[in-house]
Amino acid sequence: MRIAVGMSGGVDSSVAAYLLKEQGHDVIGVTLRFYKEECPENARVCCSPKDVQDARIVCDILGIPHITLDWENLFKERVIDYFIKSYKAGLTPNPCAICNKDVKTAFLGFYLKQTADIDFLATGHYVIKEGNKIKRAKEKDQSYFMALVPKQSLDYLMFPVGLMTKQEIRDIAKKINLPVANKVESQDVCFLKGMDLEDYLSQFIDMTQGDIVHIATQKKLGKHKGIHKYTIGQRHGLGVSYHKPLYVVEKDIENNILYVGEKEYLFKDAITLKDYNRLENFEKDNMYIQIRYNSKPIPIKHIEEDKDDVRVLLKEPATQVAKGQVGAIYFGDTLLGGGIIS
């Protein structure tokens, strides 16, 4: 088969390409360049010029062709602009999930199917694909970031390292002398390039001071430093004194008011997901929702559907439910779909 591998310059995608070549496939390395300038060495981001170079070196070692697509403008339009627009609206967006849908996984596969006549696009994500179902990986599961990927995209996506551990992948990379064997993996939002989130947002959003108000008593407790700097569930860095721990529980963007309250004001017994992306049908029971990457899945009591949106009633209250984040619904280890928390 003719398989393109999304090469990020990291060890996971590098080993994915190696495994597919060893299986006898016609493998092509494809790297997306999102920035022309170098990122700080300690930024731990992907898709920089250094990562493009690393991917090219790995492809040379493996003896497979490598191409680079300059998608800086596309990435800005579909991910960065979305990120900034969401924060301006008081939301807490998840750019990685949007990127997997609109740029580097689902859309890249579709683009290559049309232009390069590939059979599959493979990535280094820790995801298990069984048939056309997405399931959690055993280690470092990244299925949450696939919740917005359209169902039809699964026809041409594959995840060769989903059944492996990170250590197994690094061991293979060392065995075949790949220079990225010990490369530190990217963890930050890539386009921040190591910059603090507040500093980044301040370039695009007017950080005007406003009132911090207790949601129950309506008492003014102090001033915030710009409402877009705070996220739902945040406890530290509020700069106010109170006889009980306080959390950010609501943001009134229009009036520039940051509402805080005790932990009980964070509890939600229902979550609405807009623009729901259905991968599998809902089950009668034993479903769970995950509202942040690495957060504990929450048991679902019942789901109500309304056009493209779904309302998820929970068996136990959830905290830190932030509008703009992705809510991913599972049945056991199987990803059923997801949407944007509204």
Q: Which residues are catalytic?
A: 99, 190
d(CA 80, CA 190): 10
What is the widest separation between alpha-carbon atoms in the chain? Answer: 68
CA distance readout (Å), 245 to 64, 91, 208, 238, 324: 57, 23, 25, 10, 25
